[in-house]
């Protein structure tokens, strides 16, 4: 009997091994199918889904689309290397950090078609001076959104926010660089300063703003502003665009004295497995008709001058989202401050948040 039991146990073991082998083969087969796709890593709701369908139809290249909610989350995932991404869309300061850490592929300009469609003023910026690693995707600003029915005096400049008329009426986007940035701009200083005296002055001035602050929030600002629960907000132009489309009483202004000019760019991560397909996607998105379609869907400003020409006049003539060259001259891209100075900005911002409590 023992021999019989041993025999049966042996047969069962062989069956289990064979079953496990088949399962592994299936998984490997599934992975190989998955690996044929172009893997795009982008912010949530940051491309017209119809364009992905159109890209596949035109090129035969299937897309695996994954999203992140912060530059830091995207950076960590790519640096860890567990998942291979062929395309990513990081912001300006993060591009500088990633290229310094050898996480990006140098672009082969000979494989790129339509680069001349990008407005020259958006090329060669500080975070990638020769566009060796990145191509502009969208750009925007940090500015002031306000409700014309809830304010007597419309804010046009950063210093206007300190008006006692706005007591408990201002919403701030929850970001150290953004809040410290407009505090610095209100004093005529750079958003990238490494001068402790200037930073201390900005922090002290921000503390004086606390009576006017209703809340420091993230995406919740949209609801507050759309529903008329707050009179003023400091936010990104793209977020403002969504709010304006939902409430005709809202207006958005970029203070002419200075603010942040931000960029999200297309890059190819070092872990990319399908560079040829990645270039096909870049070329597809550089086509004016595709870039224009994307800009209309997302509501952010396109750096593609040929695409801008295709947009409705009401959109491209809107100075809030396509500021004059004079205003743009006073806007600054966030520099990669380095760990030490970024820590200083974050600490001052946290102290400000604690102060208002």
Predicted confidence (pLDDT) at residue 171 exceeds the cutoff of 50: yes
CA distances from 4 to 11, 13, 18, 260 (A): 11, 14, 21, 79
Q: What is the pLDDT of residue 10?
A: 54
Predicted confidence (pLDDT) at residue 235 exceeds the cutoff of 90: yes
Full set of structural domains in the chain with CATH? 36-139+263-322 (3.40.190.10), 140-261+331-355 (3.40.190.10)
Closest CA to 339 of 109, 154, 160, 93: 93
Q: What is the pLDDT of residue 7?
A: 46
Least confident of 13-17, 52-56, 241-245: 13-17
pLDDT digits (tens, 9 = 90+) for 207-229: 999 999 999 998 899 999 999 99
Mean pLDDT of the chain: 89
CB distance 187 to 202 below 8 Å? yes
Percent with pLDDT over 90 in the chain: 75
pLDDT digits (tens, 9 = 90+) for 307-321: 999 999 988 888 888
Predicted confidence (pLDDT) at residue 3 exceeds the cutoff of 80: no
């Amino acid at each position: 009997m023992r021999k019989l039991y041993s025999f049966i146990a042996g047969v069962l073991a062989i069956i289990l091994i064979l079953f496990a082998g088949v399962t592994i083969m299936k998984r490997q087969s599934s992975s190989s199918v998955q690996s044929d796709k172009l893997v795009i890593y982008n912010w949530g709701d940051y491309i017209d889904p119809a364009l992905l369908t159109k890209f596949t139809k035109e090129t035969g290249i299937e897309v695996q689309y994954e999203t992140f909610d912060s530059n830091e989350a995207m950076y960590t995932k790519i640096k860890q290397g567990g998942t291979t991404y062929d395309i990513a869309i990081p912001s300006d300061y993060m591009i500088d950090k990633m290229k310094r850490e050898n996480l990006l592929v140098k672009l082969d300009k000979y494989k790129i078609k339509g680069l001349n469609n990008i407005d020259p003023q958006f090329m060669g910026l500080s975070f990638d001076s020769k566009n060796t690693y990145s191509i502009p995707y969208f750009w925007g600003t940090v500015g002031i959104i306000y409700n014309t029915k809830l304010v007597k005096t419309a804010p046009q400049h950063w210093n206007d926010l300190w008006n006692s008329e706005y007591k408990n009426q201002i919403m701030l986007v929850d970001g150290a660089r953004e809040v410290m940035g407009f505090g610095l701009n209100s004093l005529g200083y750079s958003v990238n300063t490494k001068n402790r005296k200037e930073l201390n002055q900005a922090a002290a001035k921000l503390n004086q703003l606390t009576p006017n602050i209703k809340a420091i929030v993230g995406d919740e600002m949209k609801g507050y502003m759309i529903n008329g629960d707050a009179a003023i907000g400091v936010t990104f132009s793209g977020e403002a665009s969504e709010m304006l489309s939902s409430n005709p009483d809202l207006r958005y202004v970029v203070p002419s004295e200075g603010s942040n000019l931000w960029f999200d760019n297309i890059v190819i991560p070092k872990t990319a497995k399908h560079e040829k397909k990645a270039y096909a996607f870049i070329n597809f998105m550089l086509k004016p008709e595709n870039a224009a379609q994307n800009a209309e869907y997302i509501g952010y400003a396109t750096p593609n001058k040929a695409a801008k020409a295709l947009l409705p006049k009401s959109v491209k003539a809107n100075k809030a989202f396509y500021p004059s060259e004079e205003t743009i001259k006073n806007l600054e891209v966030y520099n990669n401050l380095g760990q030490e100075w970024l820590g200083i900005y974050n600490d001052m911002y946290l102290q400000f948040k604690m102060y208002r409590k």
